[in-house]
Amino acid sequence: MQTPFARRFAGYVNPQALFEEYLHVGYYPFYDGNEQEYYSRIENVVSFIIDQEMTQFCGVDPAYTRKLKAMLLFLANNVPYDVSIAKFASYLEINKNTVLSYLSSMQKAELLNLLYTDNKSVTKMQKPDKIYLHNPNMHYAMSSAQKIGTIRECYVVNQLSNNHTVEYGTAQGDFKIDGKITIEVGGKDKSFDQIAGIPNSYILADSMEFPIGKKLPLWLAGFLY
């Protein structure tokens, strides 16, 4: 069933075309038409946050800022990342608790989004189950090879986590929202196989202009920010 909002909105603009542009260059307010310049500015912002803000306000040792940038670059090319705190600790040559503290600080600085399978039981020093970059534009600025599936998931986490609790799905569905709604993310041909029989479950599908039953256009998630 087509919702009145989606039908009216698509009557004025092409939401899919605008959405694709947003994924590349729409997150930060300083895009002026030059894509490469825009990505360079994102890299500069990231460097400033790590070099200045995280050392001043998050207690990050300035000696580790270079390695934190390298770690962020590694994540950009490997997200969504199955977290190995031991590997990060070995690379940074610091203890595991400090790594967790730095990851938490990077989330607060809006460089990363950390996901857990059960937010209610998360402890201060618990490792996240998945790590995403904070927004899709960071992927295009920092990753050497973008994967559309990762870009879609990053977008969903970014948009929904602003006003909702987003948990990482385990056996069924990609994400659980507010502990009630199960979301699977994919292309327009994504099937319901992975969430079959789950109450309050939906697919957020790319390359769609209108909802079809419980399969909703991915771009609609942007209206929940």
Q: What are the boundaries of each domain within the chain? A: 4-224
pLDDT at 12 over 90: no
pLDDT at 184 over 80: yes
Q: Which residues contact 184 (CB under 8 A, 6 or more apart)?
A: 173, 174, 190, 192, 194, 195, 201, 202, 203, 204
Cα dihedral angle (169, 174, 178, 179), rounded to 10 degrees?
Answer: -40
Give the pLDDT confidence of 26-45 residue by residue, as tens digits: 999 999 999 999 999 999 99
Give the Cβ contact number of residue 186 at 10 Å.
19
What element of type H or E holds 176?
strand 175-177
H helical segments located in 109-189: 136-142, 148-160
pLDDT at 81 over 50: yes
Asked, as a colleague might, if the bond just before 62 is cis with ω within 30 of 0, I would say no
Check if the beta carbon of residue 165 is closer than 8 Å to that of residue 178.
yes
Number of H helices, E strands in the chain: 9, 8
Query: Residue 1: its pLDDT value, please?
Result: 42
Cα dihedral angle (218, 20, 130, 103), rounded to 10 degrees?
Answer: -130
